[in-house]
Structures are given as structure tokens and as C-alpha cells.
A and B are shown apart, each in its own frame.
Chain A
């Protein structure tokens, strides 16, 4: 079974340009997440899709970032226009879903991560 894939692996752009990152989750996974790690900082949550709907986008830094997941399969994260502080590694993750009895153990919530896209804004 293929894992989470991300494209491109690296992207170098100039300030003010537009970049689109793509994530293909594991087939059948309803949950898709985007994270970002700026150099020297912790990995930060950006947003969470359940199928094609945005479940939680509270981590999106500003309106220069637009995430979509049309059809509930792959997702794109567009940065327009890019700024210097957008540089970092963008990770995508997917999970199958949750199967939980009230207050009981959680199953199927493991998030599988892609290798990341390293974005450099000059």
C-alpha cells in the first residue's frame, strides 16, 4: 500500500510568487492534515480535512494560505503571495478515521505522514 506522498519535495521561489503544494493521502483515508515546521521551531498544525470539508483550519497563519481538497482525495495548499517567513517544511498526514466507544480506547486515529515539502522563499 502506498504511503502519503507529497509533491514537490523541494521548492525554491521568490518573495511574492505563488506556490502550490500537493498531498496525496493513503487511499481510503478520510482525514487529511497539513502541518508546517519553520526552522528551529516545533511542527505546527495548519488544518484538518474530513473528506472534502474543512474540520479545523484554526492553524492557518493568514489568508495568503488556501487549502483545498476537492472530491475528498488529494489536497493542495497554495501560498499566494509567498513571504520570507513562509519558508519551512510542510508536512501532510492522513488517517483512516476514529472508531471509539464513549470514553473508550481510540482506534484508527494514527496519522501517517508524508516526507514533506521543503519550501524556501528568497
Chain B
């Protein structure tokens, strides 16, 4: 069975500082991993995905994530936080094959301090 753990329900950073949101996964099959973002009153939007190609994945809005099999991690980073990055972020893994439903982490609220 697949599972996702996101450390920290809330992460606060200063504007311009590094953003690091942690995600660890457990999967019985080679995983496909995703980061989604949800802005207030909106649906989930895909930031980036790992699908067994490059281990360093670049996404939208300057975010990137690195797949580390040895650490079973897929942490999300952004070099310089912007006020518009304030949102809730979700890490997810496919339940099985590529088109299967997703198993989500509990989400992390990113708070940007001016």
C-alpha cells in the first residue's frame, strides 16, 4: 500500500527566503509522485510530477523537487519565496499504476511573512 507523510502542517518563511516542504513516501511499486497546490477557494493545481525520468523535477512558479529513492523522499523547494506562494501544498503518490487514484499527504500550509 502507498502512503505519504508531509512533515509540518504549517511552514512559515520570510519573503525571499528558501522554501522547503518535506514529503516522504512509502510505495510497494515504483512510485509516481506529485506536488499539488491549492490556493484559497480554488481547486488543486499540479506543480510538478516525477514519473521515473529525471530525479530533479522542475515545476511551475519556480518550484522544484528531487526524488531520492534511498531516502524515500520528494521534498519541494523554491529558492526565494514570494507572497503569492502562500497556499496549501499537497504531496501525492499514485496508488498503483500510472492512471490510478492518488494517495495524498495531509497537506502543508505555507505562510509567507513580509
- The stretch from B13-21, B76-84, B96-104 touching chain A is B96-104
In the complex with contacts A42-B105, A105-B52, A91-B44 CB distance below 8 A: yes
In the complex with contacts A105-B53, A106-B51, A116-B43, A100-B98 CB distance below 8 A: yes
Interface presence of A107 (CB below 8 A): yes
Chain A residues in 8 Å Cβ range of B107: 42-43
For residue A67, give the distance in angstroms from its CB to the closest CB of chain B. Answer: 12
For residue B6, give the distance in angstroms from its CB to the closest CB of chain A. Answer: 9
A106 touches B52 (CB 8 A): yes
Interface presence of B45 (CB below 8 A): yes
For residue A26, give the distance in angstroms from its CB to the closest CB of chain B. Answer: 12
Chain B residues in 8 Å Cβ range of A43: 44, 90, 102, 104, 107
Give the dominant DSSP class at B's interface: loop
Q: Which residue of A lies closest to B51 (CB)?
A: A106
B98 touches A98 (CB 8 A): yes
Task: Give the size range of B's interface with the partner.
Answer: 20 to 34
Q: Which residue of A lies closest to B32 (CB)?
A: A106
Q: Which residue of A lies closest to B101 (CB)?
A: A45
Q: Which residue of A lies closest to B3 (CB)?
A: A42
For residue A18, give the distance in angstroms from its CB to the closest CB of chain B. Answer: 25
Interface presence of A74 (CB below 8 A): no
Chain B residues in 8 Å Cβ range of A77: none
Chain B residues in 8 Å Cβ range of A100: 98
A98 touches B52 (CB 8 A): no
